[in-house]
């Protein structure tokens, strides 16, 4: 039976929601402090609950949620909420290939390109225990065989290209520099991953990223590249994105200015729209599918720069770490299921505690682009004002996600996080093993980790022994994620964790997390404004916009 993706039960239409409303009827800010400080005050039963129930070992990630703003009763209501909103059924619909992106009538299958045949079978069997091997229902068989045909072939084509490129990259006429041209999901994921794993990548060309239409971005990237040894990867799911097309054209001009007219030899593309790419002279176009959303696409051809940087084995490990998290999401019971708990926490924080933002602090310089990546993932997915059926929502959705790597943030905005008037939950991500080797690096890494742990402690405990300006309330919630080491597999798992968390929150809110109509208006207006800049006319414009255009002419 195919579930109707728009007929899900929205969170505010459940008994669990009423329970949460009743529990939070008192002053919510007091409730936050109470729920976090409880672990300090009651050292017996509820502390044992925090230590047992709120520390989760998910694949590649240990999550300590014991400093979060929930108590046992709230936690139980959230698990009931997840059940009453049928999140597990919605998840299974996604994994079963149902078109849950209802506004665009598309399947949501970004998790598919990161499977091997084996992990896919495991996941199908785990999430549907009734389907024992030999009696897999036709949907699952279809999924596996379509997967083998299309996805595996596309991955192999991509990786063979990568093998060749990397093998020749040390030759005088090989490719020494790869420049990725793309924006949004066609930049943020691959750029973040390549930067995060730079220290484990070796043996391939250098990889650069250009996203902004500001010509300085391309100019800067090309400053150290030689045209004859440069390959451009033009990434655009639609091949209609103006920033990407203009940057690609500028790259073509740069090649031609160096006497290189065979564009196909220096430029490849990844797109669902090969004719768009071919119209620019790009012969080689790697596949992309409409069932992979842009911000979820690093696992598909959009991951090409990642594969170039890491090589075949590294890229496969990246995919398999994410597949491990898929299996966890598909099979762990809700109260031990990390994406489910985090998505439910997002709803609790936004709708009951009234937190408007969440700060992300990776205590790893290599992960410094993670907050930017998460901004698109979370805010483009769940920053919605209507539910999947188009009805206006009576409650708030996605928090603003922002952040900076630790310890840098500590010396900038942490003052406000500790003593400001708003409570901002923070997510600390730490890596146990240092990336760099040597005694000095170990010493610095220890300081880094000590700061990560101390901050979580300070947010929770505060400082009651000092008064006035030196007083810290404490009771400020945090989550702590610990990776043993930053590897392709653990990073893959971390990204998949966030993807699924966004899914769960969106599912509870009853929204479609997979469209992005909110980006359209600005694009349309920019075309009109640019035309007016050329024609120098402001007829019909509001006074404010007309005045700005006047300044620009
Ligand atoms: O404008 C937003 C957006 O559509 C994102 O969702 C997407 O990741 C980005 O633009 C780039 O789109 P494309 O890959 O089609 O160039």
Is 411 among the catalytic positions?
yes
| pLDDT tens digits for range 202-214 | 899 999 999 999 9
From residue 15, alpha-carbon distances to 10, 69, 94, 337 in Å are 11, 21, 25, 22
User: How many Å lie between the centroid of ligand 1 and the Cα of residue 41?
Assistant: 48
In this structure, how many other beta carbons lie within 10 angstroms of the beta carbon of residue 51? 12
d(CA 59, CA 328): 7
CB 20 within 8 A of CB 403: no
The structure tokens listed for 260 are: 């290189």
SS3 state of residue 478: strand
The structure tokens listed for 185 are: 């999901």
Is 119 close to ligand 1, i.e. is its CB under 6 Å away? no
d(CA 379, CA 368): 18
**Tens place of pLDDT for every residue, the chain, 553 residues?**
444 554 689 999 999 999 999 998 876 667 776 666 665 544 445 688 888 999 999 999 999 999 999 989 999 999 999 999 999 999 999 988 899 999 999 999 999 999 988 888 787 777 665 554 444 454 566 667 766 778 999 999 999 999 999 999 999 999 999 999 999 999 999 999 999 999 999 899 999 999 999 999 999 999 999 999 999 999 999 999 999 999 999 999 999 999 999 999 999 999 999 999 999 999 999 999 999 999 999 999 999 999 999 999 999 999 999 999 999 999 999 999 999 999 999 999 999 999 999 999 999 999 999 999 999 999 999 999 999 999 999 999 999 999 999 999 999 999 999 999 999 999 999 999 998 899 999 999 999 999 999 999 999 988 888 889 999 988 899 999 999 999 999 999 999 999 999 999 999 999 999 999 999 999 999 999 999 999 999 999 999 999 999 999 8
The structure tokens listed for 227 are: 């045209």
Residues pairing with 180 in the sheet: 209, 233
From residue 103, alpha-carbon distances to 55, 214, 269, 357 in Å are 37, 33, 28, 27
Is 107 close to ligand 1, i.e. is its CB under 6 Å away? no
With both helix axes pointing from N to C terminus, report the angle between 304-331 and 87-95 in degrees, rounded to the nearest 10.
140
Is 183 close to ligand 1, i.e. is its CB under 6 Å away? yes
What is the full DSSP assignment across 224-293?
T--GGGEEEEEE-SSS--HHHHHHHHHHHHHHHHTT---GGGTEEEE-S-HHHHHTTT--EEE---TTS-
Which residue has its alpha carbon closest to ligand 1 atom 16?
236
CB 111 within 8 A of CB 327: no
Full strand arrangement of the beta sheet holding 267-270: 206-210, 177-181, 230-235, 267-270, 284-286
Give the residue carrying structure tokens 């310890």: 407
d(CA 371, CA 388): 27
Is 380 among the catalytic positions?
yes
Q: Which of 170, 523, 531, 537 is catalytic?
A: 523
Is 437 among the catalytic positions?
no
Is 294 close to ligand 1, i.e. is its CB under 6 Å away? yes
Pocket test for ligand 1, best of 108, 184, 190 (most atoms within 8 A of CB): 184
Q: Which own/partner pairs from 69-76 qualify as long-range (CB within 8 Å, at least 24 positions apart)?
A: 69/31, 69/32, 69/35, 69/36, 69/348, 69/349, 69/353, 69/425, 69/475, 69/477, 70/35, 70/345, 70/348, 71/34, 71/35, 71/38, 71/46, 72/46, 73/23, 74/20, 74/23, 74/35, 74/348, 75/335
Please report the atom of ligand 1 found closest to the CA of residue 523: 1
The structure tokens listed for 409 are: 């943030």
In this structure, how many other beta carbons lie within 10 angstroms of the beta carbon of residue 538? 17
CB 203 within 8 A of CB 174: no
Is 244 close to ligand 1, i.e. is its CB under 6 Å away? yes
User: How many Å lie between the centroid of ligand 1 and the Cα of residue 473?
Assistant: 42
The CA angle 12-344-462, to the nearest 5 degrees, is 115
Q: Which of 411, 432, 531, 536 is catalytic?
A: 411
């Amino acid at each position: 039976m195919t579930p109707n993706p728009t007929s899900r039960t929205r969170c505010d239409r459940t008994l669990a929601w009423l329970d949460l409303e009743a529990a939070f009827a008192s002053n919510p800010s007091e409730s936050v402090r109470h729920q976090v400080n409880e672990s300090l005050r009651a050292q017996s039963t509820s502390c044992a609950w925090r230590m047992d129930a709120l520390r989760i070992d998910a694949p590649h990630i240990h999550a300590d949620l014991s400093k979060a703003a929930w108590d046992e009763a709230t936690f139980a209501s959230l698990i009931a909420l997840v059940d009453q909103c049928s999140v597990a059924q919605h998840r299974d619909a996604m994994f079963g290939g149902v078109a849950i992106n209802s506004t665009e009538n598309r399947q949501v299958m970004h998790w598919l390109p990161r499977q091997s045949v084996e992990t896919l079978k495991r996941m199908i069997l785990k999430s549907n225990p009734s389907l024992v091997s030999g009696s897999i229902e036709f949907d699952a068989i279809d999924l596996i065989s379509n997967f083998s045909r299309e996805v595996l072939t596309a991955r192999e084509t991509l990786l063979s290209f990568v093998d060749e490129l990397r093998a020749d990259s040390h030759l005088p006429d090989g490719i020494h520099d790869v420049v990725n041209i793309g924006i949004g999901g066609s930049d943020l994921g691959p750029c973040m991953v390549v930067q995060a794993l730079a220290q484990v990548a070796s043996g391939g060309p250098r990889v650069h990223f250009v996203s902004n239409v500001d010509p300085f971005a391309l100019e800067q990237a090309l400053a150290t590249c030689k045209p004859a040894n440069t390959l451009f990867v033009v990434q655009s799911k639609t091949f209609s994105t103006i920033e990407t097309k203009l940057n690609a054209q500028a790259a073509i001009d740069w090649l031609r200015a160096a006497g290189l007219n065979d564009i196909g030899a220096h430029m490849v593309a990844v797109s669902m729209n090969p004719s768009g790419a071919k119209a620019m002279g790009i012969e080689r176009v790697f596949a992309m599918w409409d069932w992979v959303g842009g911000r979820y696409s690093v696992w598909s051809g959009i991951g090409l720069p990642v594969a170039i940087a890491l090589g075949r084995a590294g890229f496969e490990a990246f995919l398999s770490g994410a597949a491990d998290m898929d299996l966890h999401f598909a099979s762990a019971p809700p109260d031990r299921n990390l994406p489910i708990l985090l998505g439910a926490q997002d709803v609790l924080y936004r709708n009951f505690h009234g937190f408007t933002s969440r700060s992300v602090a990776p205590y790893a310089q290599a992960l410094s682009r993670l907050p930017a990546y998460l901004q698109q993932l979370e805010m483009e997915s769940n920053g919605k004002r209507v539910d999947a059926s188009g009805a206006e929502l009576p409650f708030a959705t996605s928090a603003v996600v922002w952040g900076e790597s630790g310890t840098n943030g500590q010396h900038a905005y942490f003052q406000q996080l500790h003593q400001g008037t708003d409570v901002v939950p923070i997510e600390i991500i730490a890596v146990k093993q240092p990336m760099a080797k040597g005694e000095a690096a170990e010493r610095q890494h220890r300081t880094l980790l000590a700061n990560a742990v101390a901050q979580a402690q300070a947010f929770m405990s505060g400082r009651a022994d000092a008064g006035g300006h030196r007083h810290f309330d404490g009771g400020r919630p945090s989550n702590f994620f610990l990776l043993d080491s930053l590897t392709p597999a653990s990073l893959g798992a971390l990204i998949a964790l966030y993807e699924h968390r966004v899914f769960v929150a969106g599912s509870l809110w009853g929204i479609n997390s997979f469209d992005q109509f909110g980006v359209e208006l600005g694009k349309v207006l920019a075309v009109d404004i640019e035309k007016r800049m050329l024609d120098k006319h402001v007829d019909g414009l509001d006074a404010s916009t007309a005045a700005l255009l006047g300044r620009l002419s």
